[in-house]
Amino acid sequence: MGRAAGRRGQATGAPCGAGRRAIRAGAAAFSAAAAASRSARASAQGGDAASWFGNNQRPDGQKVEMKAGVIGLGAMGAPMARYVHAMGGLTAVGNRTQAKADALASELGVRAARSAANFADCDVVILCVSLDADVLENVAALAEVLKPGAIVVDHSTVSIETARRSAAMLAVHDIGFLDAPVSGGAEGARNGKLSIMVGGDEAQLERVHEIVASYAARITHMGATGAGQATKAINQVLVAGINEAVCEGLALAEKLGLEADKLLPTLMAGAASNWFLDKRGATMLRDEFAPGFKCQHMLKDLRIVQGIARDTGVRTATLDQAAADYAELIERGYGEADTSALIALKRARAQAESDAA
């Protein structure tokens, strides 16, 4: 991609006045447009808009015709693979730890991939891996074996530049690429209710929509390649800020002697209500940090967002504080724990200040 073309495709940067007006206009039009799109899609498929947009079964009861593979069978990827299998589209699964691929393949009666070549007959390959290097490694291997017209859908959270490099590597072989990070955590994956933000060619998204919709509550085409990752960056800024506020607030509540069984429903009934408080509030107060989303993965994401933000000139005090806090949590041994373990750090600081007083 040429330098000028790359600038035109960039999904980052602070909007100018016209950009802000466009965002406001887009927000006003979004609900009606989304509803019309879902209604049209559902009408074409013979179902209603709500059920088709967030359901893992075809309204007509038929199996999908595309052959799909899934690479990365962790807390997110394994449930995705099961939903694709339920649609009748799963052909092969792969994972860095071969035993995990073998076990799921045996359970579902599909192929356990030993190499990229085992995905050669797939029309779509879904990636859900941890690091930028993992995405690039898998994309390079798939580029050599997938047939022209195939599409790689990457649900990993990586940099915008990695998304663009991946798309460019595959385009040489006439293979499509969609950067499609997800939000909703392990619960969202298990329940088939992920929010998926997509960058890339919209026609390619239409081709794989039926597969991806099997584990989605919402799929939104955000723009050109990289726009999905740009949207996930915004998502993580908000998530990090909410985590900071909830953990700090609940640590304070403990110091004040408030009863959790009264406090949490009261907060959830008002303006403080949010997903993190609802799903993690009670467990963090019981010191239960079984991972839905690990601290080490949060820190990885936040560092990606910091890199994106530096290019825009936007101040990111909340983001920077969250990154520093999760780095400290990992140093304290909480890398594998859920992000709600942040309350342990808030408690420790409160205790240190109390002891020093």
Give the residue numbers annotated as catalytic, written as ranges: 232
Tokens (6 digits) for 348: 């420790």
CB 127 within 8 A of CB 135: yes
How far apart CA 255 and CA 250 sit, in angstroms, is 9
Q: Which amino acid is at 343?
A: I
How far apart CA 117 and CA 114 sit, in angstroms, is 8
Q: Which amino acid is at 124?
A: V
Helices and strands: H and E segment counts in the chain:
15, 9
Phi-psi region for residue 47, left (φ > 0), alpha (ψ -120 to 50) or beta? Answer: beta
How far apart CA 113 and CA 92 sit, in angstroms, is 6
Q: What is the CA radius of gyration of the chain?
A: 21
Q: Which residue, 214, 298, 281, is CA-closest to 246?
A: 281
- Could you give the 3-state DSSP secondary structure of residue 70? strand
What ranges make up the beta strands (E) of 43-142? Answer: 68-71, 90-94, 111-112, 124-127
In 172-274, alpha helices (H): 185-191, 202-212, 227-255, 260-268
Between the two ends of the chain, the Cα-to-Cα distance in Å is: 60
